[in-house]
Amino acid sequence: MSDANLELPPDGIAPDETDISLRAYFLRMSDDRLREYDNDWSDAQVIEWDGNFRSDGALMLVCCERDIEINEYRSVLEEHISRRGL
Ranges assigned E (strand) in the chain: none
Number of domains in the chain: 1
- Identify the H or E element spanning 14: none
Give the integer Cα–Cα distance in Å for 77 and 53: 14
Confidence (pLDDT) at 62? 81
Residue 61 lies in domain? 3-83
pLDDT tens for each residue of 32-72: 999 999 999 999 999 999 999 999 999 999 878 899 999 99
Q: Helix 70-83 vs helix 43-50: angle between axes, to the nearest 10 degrees?
A: 70
Going by C-alpha positions, the residue among 14, 53, 12 that lies closest to residue 77 is 53
Residues 64 and 29 sit within 8 Å (Cβ to Cβ): no
pLDDT band at 9 (very low <50, low <70, confident <90, very high): low
